Structures are given as structure tokens and as C-alpha cells.
Amino acid sequence: MITVAVDCMGGDVGVGVTLPACEAFLASHPQAHLLLVGQPEVLKKARPQLLNNVRCRVVPASEVVAMDDPIEVALRKKKDSSMRVAIQQVKDGAAQAAVSAGNTGALMAISRYLLKTLEGIDRPAIASQLPNARGGATTVLDLGANVDCTAEHLLQFAVMGSALVVAITGKPEPTVGLLNVGEEVIKGSDVIKKAGVLLRNAANTGDLNFFGNVEGDDIFKGSADIVVCDGFVGNVALKASEGLATMISGLIREAFSKNILTKMAAIIAYPVLSSFKKRVDHRRYNGAALLGLRGLVFKSHGSADAFAFEQALGRAYDAAHNGLLSSVQERIAHAAPLLSPAGVPSEIKSIPTL
């Protein structure tokens, strides 16, 4: 039995989004159980019928982490927040995963504090999926947890990302691309070149399926199943893409609403445009994994609607159901010799100016 703890108060909207999503999720996942974490009176008022569902239980939490709360406030002052209590359920074994649409920085800090990182992992990473031209999705990490990374961190991200893709999609040997400014091994900074050596070595020992260097456009081409990068680069690439997608959809809308003729064209083109829109609907990919912790935590977009939040719940459920945590642990343990100084091949030591 899989139980997911839900921070029902988090996100831009709170219960108005999270509770309808929980209801839909329970309907589509007949084996799943939910812990609804939040202020009981608010939950009850918002969705009384949900609380009667036998696969739901309310776990009271008196406080709420605001979207703009500084990390210190969320971590030190609001000890009874719905976010924290939800993660505590995972720590206590009452739930196998937690989901929150709250403030990312606070969620990462509280998760690290309560759950701790896995052995062999220096820093947790945030992984999410982006739709690609092959009709699938590319998993990208890190998306902002770590603004600067060493080559070893990038290797850890690659190993964790591989475990995530296996657990979520079932694909047995997903490929890993190293995000760079060119495909050639001589390109990039010293950290990237060293990471390339580590990843090639990990491929040789069977720890992952290394595709090689990839460039920014490969994320959307779907050249590799997983793309690893530091959190600064990943965050910029993600947000730039969101910005471009928003601009393009705004311009399409504008072009079709210019005058009576374009509006008529819009009516005729509507079914086509909406099938296109469905293909690139970012809500379908909602639910980023916080990887590298001793427990599963998923982050929903703060502005998610009920459909998007439901996807995040589904992703958390699948990850728990498919044993993501133990799979990450096993893969990291197997790759451990590559991460220790003794395991660094001589090839790496000879890279100049490291």
C-alpha cells in the first residue's frame, strides 16, 4: 500500500487546487492512500465529502509556509507548517512520498533537514521533465538546488536521474547527456570536461548509459533521456523556455484575435490548435523530484491547477510504487568507487588546470 502525504495548504491557491486534485487522484488510483496535511477546519470547509473517503486521513498542521517566506522562517519558526508535517510523515514511515506546491527553497531546506541526504550524495538535486520533439519527455537536473557544482556532483545527478527515469517511465537503460556548449569532448569549462571523464567512466562500469555532450537544443530534440547540468544553468534554461513558450502562445492568441476575419480563422483552427496545445501542455509534466534524500519528496509548480497538481501526485505515487528510493540508493552505492578519490582514474588526474 502506497500512502502519499500532501501539503494541502501550499502553493499559490492552496486547498482550492490541492483538494480537488486529491479527489481526482484517488479516483484514478484505487490502491492509493493520502494523508491530507493542513488546518483541519480549512480542509473540512473546502471539501467535506473528500474527508469521508476511507483512503484519506487528515493530519493536522497549524501553520502554513507562505510563498515568500524566507528559508529560515520556514525552517526555524514554522515548526508546525503543513509542508514540514507532510515531510515528517515520510520520515516517520507513515507515507512513502510527500508532495507540496509550496516555496521551493523552503521545501528543499526542510526536506534536507528532516530526511538528510543519502549516503554518497553531497547535495540533493531537483529533477523535472520537459516535453520533447520525439513525443516523450527529457528529464533535466539540477533545476536550481545547486548554483555551482563539481564534476562529482554532476555524476551523482546522472546516477540519480537514471534511477528516476527507470522508476517513472520503466525504460531500462535511459541515456544521459552532459549539457555543454558543444558536442566535442574538448568543449566547456574544466568542471564539465572532468564530468565528461567521470560519466564516460561510469558508462564503462555499467553505472549509466552515457550519450555524450549535448547542447541546449537537445533538451527539446530529445537526444538523450536525461540531461545533467548545474542548478544555475538548469534553472535559466527552464525559465527561458517557459518565457519563450508563454511569449509564443501570447503571440498566437494575439494574431488570431486581431479582427473579425482572424477570429473566424481561430474558430476553424481551434481543434487543431488545441490538439497542439495538449501536446506541449506543461501541466502534464508537473511534479519535480527532489532527489538524493532519504525519502521521496515531489515539488509541484506553485501556480499549478488541480489537473497539474494531480499529475504531481501521480508522479510521486509511481516513484514510490516503483521503488525509486531503493533504486537510487543501490545505484549510488554501486557507483561509489567512482566518487571516492581512490576510484578516480588516472585519466582524470592528468587533466590540466583543475
Residues that bind its own copies (CB under 8 A): 131-133, 144, 147-148, 179, 181, 187-189, 192, 215-221, 229, 231-233, 235-248, 250-252, 254-256, 258, 262, 264-266, 268-269, 271-273, 275-276, 279-280
**Closest distance to its own copies from the beta carbon of 155 (Å):** 18
**Closest distance to its own copies from the beta carbon of 234 (Å):** 9
- Decide if 103 contacts 7 (C-beta within 8 A): no
Report the residue number, 80 or 254, with the smaller CB distance to its own copies: 254
Report the residue number, 127 or 296, with the smaller CB distance to its own copies: 127
Cα separations (Å) of 141 from 57, 162, 167? 33, 11, 16
Q: Which residues does residue 299 pair with via DSSP β-bridges, in sequence order?
A: 100, 288
**Closest distance to its own copies from the beta carbon of 225 (Å):** 16
Report the residue number, 181 or 333, with the smaller CB distance to its own copies: 181
Report the residue number, 197 or 335, with the smaller CB distance to its own copies: 197
Distance CA 299, CA 65 (A): 14
Record the cell numbers describing residue 222, joined without a space.
530529445
Record the cell numbers describing residue 189, joined without a space.
569549462
Question: Cell 476511507 appears where?
Answer: 54
Report the residue number, 247 or 333, with the smaller CB distance to its own copies: 247
**Closest distance to its own copies from the beta carbon of 39 (Å):** 29
Report the residue number, 54 or 272, with the smaller CB distance to its own copies: 272
- Decide if 125 contacts 171 (C-beta within 8 A): no
Report the residue number, 27 or 181, with the smaller CB distance to its own copies: 181
- Decide if 130 contacts 238 (C-beta within 8 A): yes
**Closest distance to its own copies from the beta carbon of 146 (Å):** 10
**Closest distance to its own copies from the beta carbon of 264 (Å):** 8
**Closest distance to its own copies from the beta carbon of 266 (Å):** 7
Distance CA 111, CA 241 (A): 27
Bond before 142 cis per omega within 30 degrees: yes
**Closest distance to its own copies from the beta carbon of 300 (Å):** 18
Q: Cα-atom radius of gyration of the chain, to the nearest Å? A: 21
Q: What CA dihedral angle connects 164, 167, 172 and 177, to 10 degrees?
A: -10
H or E stretch at 343 = none
Where are the strands (E) in 26-75, listed by range? 33-38, 56-60
Report the residue number, 75 or 316, with the smaller CB distance to its own copies: 75
Record the cell numbers describing residue 253, joined without a space.
492568441
Amino acid sitting at position 260? I
| 264: number of Cβ within 10 Å | 11
